Structure 1
Amino acid sequence: MLKHEKIKGRGAQSAVVPDRFGLAQRNVDGEWRDAMEQLEGPPVKLRTQVTEEHPKTILSFNQSPDIFFDRSINAYRGCEHGCVYCFARPTHAYHDLSPGLDFETKLFAKPDAPRLLRETLARPKYVPKPIAMGTNTDPYQPIEKRYRITRQLLEICLECRHPVTITTKSDRVLQDLDLLKEMAQQELVAVAISVTSLDPALSGKLEPRAAAPHKRMAALGQLAENGIPTHCSIAPIIPAITDCFMEEIIQEAASAGVGSIGWIPLRLPHEVAPLFREWLDVHFPDRAAKVMSIVRSIRNGRDNDPHFFSRLRPSGVWAELFRTRFRVACRKNNVKKQNFYLETGNFRRPSVDGQLQLL
């Protein structure tokens, strides 16, 4: 891992190279850029690059027992928000790219996504269930302003009366408020906004290009005010860094009329662990050891627990303390557990190539 000065405006502090796919051996090819980065580190000012990707399919299916959805869409690969803790970072390694700086600077957009979704929904054997957006990379990251792929996907889902869930860290979701209101009236959408802290300076280090905390809270309130089922996700809880904001986030979300609140513990799979350790050394060297000690205590002595049923459910004294604090804060603010119902019975297959449905 490269040693260098703090990289302003980015979450990762290096282009950490994974060794799971032999990328370390292929990465150094003798070019002058390799020698320069080994001596000086990566350039301080990194420009975002976007490559258009043309996949053959757009829906991803899973059978995980830990998550509530079985299908998802990711309009983009990589995420400019740059959240250093993002569990999706290792997916960039599949393309011989770094889960570190490459993940937040070398992005992929999928402009064919709307067409592919329409073709998928038109298949005679397709059975509708809620589609999750924002499960791997944020559907409202900055490049959505240019591509508007997420909006096109929502337009198709509204046309077909297909239910959708959205998870984001951006108030840019309000730009599609017109669609969301109409979908909510038909019980077709629920939106979750992740709020990690209420300190803009801390958020600027953790998630440098995501919306500021107060903008996210305001977006939650505006969504709720417009009748859209809204969830505030306190995610992730980072021990000794962000857990101190739990009670205040719950209070503000409840005051904004948000009907559902939850929390998710920090996860550090594969290359995320060394990236996060490096981030701690850069920004919080005084408590880095303490943070990782607590993380390991809730993950059965490891940086990460990859097993089904336990990977999203931490154990130990610290985990129980977080649960207790969460329950007490929800009780004080009259927040009750709420499940959102999404309608699948009104689904109608879309037309393809202008051909109308017979029935």
Structure 2
Amino acid sequence: MPSLSTLKQTAFDPSLQALEADALVKASGLRVADERARGRGAGLNMSGRFEIASREVFDDGWSSLEDLAPFKTEVQVEKPRTVITRNQSPDLSFDRSINPYRGCEHGCVYCFARPSHAYMGLSAGVDFEAKLFAKPDAPRLLERELSRPGYKVQPIAIGTNTDPYQPIERQWRIMRQLLEVLEAAGHPVGIVTKSALVTRDIDILSRMASRGLARVALSVTTLDRKLSRTMEPRASTPEKRLEAMRALSDAGVPVSVMAAPVIPGLNDHEIERILDSAKAAGADAAGYVMLRLPIEVSPLFRDWLLRHYPDRYRHVMSLIRSMRGGKDYDAEFGKRMRGSGPYAWQVARRFQMASKRLGLNLRKTPLRTDHFVPPLGDGVQLSLL
């Protein structure tokens, strides 16, 4: 990979921009041909960082690359032992979450979850979008974990890593089964998604919301259809997400909007418009997250930026690094979600002022925990008392 000094210089020197593009390609493997990657967000498919050997695609002179088939979505079954993941991060408002899928077909090029695919021996690039893992046993495992003696109920977050309503959910329906378990147990849940498919489960969500057990956050990154299509190619369009907000709100489900991620020099000018539109669609709360570029996400995002917005490359990367101490990313708690410095402060103030003007975040009622009753379904160990 290019050195830090080279990356910092590139942000201000246009003559080095082409050099960084070459370095990105050489370090990560040649770019995937456009026809093979059609409909995908990433343009690279480098080897996983834990692999002993790395692969590099090249043309051997026989035009064999043209014979390679386009990437198709493949789904494998994953059989975890547990389904609730715990965390102790001071940056998060929840201490437990569920991910019914590993990998995400939405293909958001900026997704901070991409590096997790390396643990499966796969690439954080196109593999993350095309080679997915489903957990059909998740509802049964959830019942078992909620029934354990000593379980202390707190809201479960779903959609914090990969989207529970990504396209394959139409077939697998794992998320709906999880909601059925949570509703039966009276367990609170918070959902984050970019998909209008969430409206399929309005029947369950509205019943849970009437008991103070559910809240949904729709992530709206941009209102620009062209930018959304290139940056998050298989997610619902911005208009569909706003329509989903309205449908949920009309059904009595509390709705938040997440302006996430804010990308300096690319979508930061839309903060006020996104909040305005979300408020009109029924949102009563809002949040934002600054762009994060951990590990493999950095070269993937920079390659995408060079391909789609080369004229903005220097400006965008300069602003990102100004908030990250000259680096592409700073993982320090308290800074990783917001950044630091004058530009980060300006974005925070704009968000706060727009939210106050619109009356967002004034009264966010906590989800209730007093309805919880441990499940007694199949596979749950009964008490001997």
* Partner-residue secondary structure (3-state), 1:84: coil
Is the contact made by 2:144 and 2:379 (CA closer than 8 Å) also made in structure 1?
Answer: no
Instruction: Indicate the residue corresponding to 1:133 in structure 2.
Output: 158
Count of residues in Structure 1 that have an aligned counterpart in Structure 2 = 352
After TM superposition, list the pairs within 5 Å mapping 1:164-183 onto structure 2: 164-183=189-208
For 2:307 and 2:69, the matched residues in 1 are separated by 15
After TM superposition, list the pairs within 5 Å mapping 1:62-101 onto structure 2: 62-101=87-126
Instruction: Indicate the residue corresponding to 2:257 in structure 1.
Output: 232
Instruction: Indicate the residue corresponding to 1:26 in structure 2.
Output: 53
Q: Deviations over 1:25-49 (max 9, x none)?
A: 3344xxxx96669984995721000
Is the contact made by 2:32 and 2:45 (CA closer than 8 Å) also made in structure 1?
Answer: no
For 2:125 and 2:285, the matched residues in 1 are separated by 32
After TM superposition, list the pairs within 5 Å mapping 1:9-48 onto structure 2: 9-19=39-49, 21=50, 23=51, 25-28=52-55, 40=65, 43=68, 45-48=70-73
Tell me: CA distance 1:297–1:43, structure 2 relative to 1, closer, same or farther (3 Å): farther
Identity of aligned residues (%): 49
Whether 1:3 and 2:31 are equivalent positions in the alignment is yes
Aligned letter for 2:108?
C
Compare 41-50 and 311-320 and name the one that shifted more.
41-50
Tell me: CA distance 1:315–1:142, structure 2 relative to 1, closer, same or farther (3 Å): same
Q: Deviations over 1:64-110 (max 9, x none)?
A: 11101111110000000000000000000011100000000000000
In the TM superposition, residue 261 of structure 1 has moved relative to its aligned partner by 1.1
Whether 1:151 and 2:179 are equivalent positions in the alignment is no
Aligned letter for 1:154?
L
Is the contact made by 2:109 and 2:301 (CA closer than 8 Å) also made in structure 1?
Answer: yes
For 2:253 and 2:167, the matched residues in 1 are separated by 23
For 2:58 and 2:152, the matched residues in 1 are separated by 53
* Partner-residue secondary structure (3-state), 2:53: helix
In the TM superposition, residue 318 of structure 1 has moved relative to its aligned partner by 1.1
* Partner-residue secondary structure (3-state), 1:344: coil
Tell me: CA distance 1:249–1:305, structure 2 relative to 1, closer, same or farther (3 Å): same
* Partner-residue secondary structure (3-state), 1:157: helix
Instruction: Indicate the residue corresponding to 2:228 in structure 1.
Output: 203
Aligned letter for 1:3?
R
Compare 311-320 and 50-59 and name the one that shifted more.
311-320
In the TM superposition, residue 354 of structure 1 has moved relative to its aligned partner by 7.5
Q: 2:267 aligns with which of 219, 226, 242?
A: 242
Q: 1:52 aligns with which of 35, 59, 77?
A: 77
Instruction: Indicate the residue corresponding to 2:376 in structure 1.
Output: 351
Superposition CA RMSD, Å: 2.2
Compare 318-327 and 233-242 and name the one that shifted more.
318-327
Instruction: Indicate the residue corresponding to 1:296 in structure 2.
Output: 321
* Partner-residue secondary structure (3-state), 1:288: helix
Compare 312-321 and 196-205 and name the one that shifted more.
312-321
- Identify unmatched segments of 5+ residues in structure 2: 1-27
Moved over 3 A (4+): 3-7, 33-44, 354-359
Tell me: CA distance 1:68–1:277, structure 2 relative to 1, closer, same or farther (3 Å): same
Is the contact made by 1:79 and 1:137 (CA closer than 8 Å) also made in structure 2?
Answer: yes
For 1:147 and 1:8, the matched residues in 2 are separated by 24
For 1:348 and 1:229, the matched residues in 2 are separated by 23
For 2:355 and 2:68, the matched residues in 1 are separated by 45
For 2:130 and 2:66, the matched residues in 1 are separated by 16
In the TM superposition, residue 167 of structure 1 has moved relative to its aligned partner by 0.4
For 1:15 and 1:37, the matched residues in 2 are separated by 19
- Identify unmatched segments of 5+ residues in structure 1: none
In the TM superposition, residue 254 of structure 1 has moved relative to its aligned partner by 1.2
For 1:293 and 1:233, the matched residues in 2 are separated by 24
Instruction: Indicate the residue corresponding to 2:334 in structure 1.
Output: 309
TM-score (norm 2): 0.87
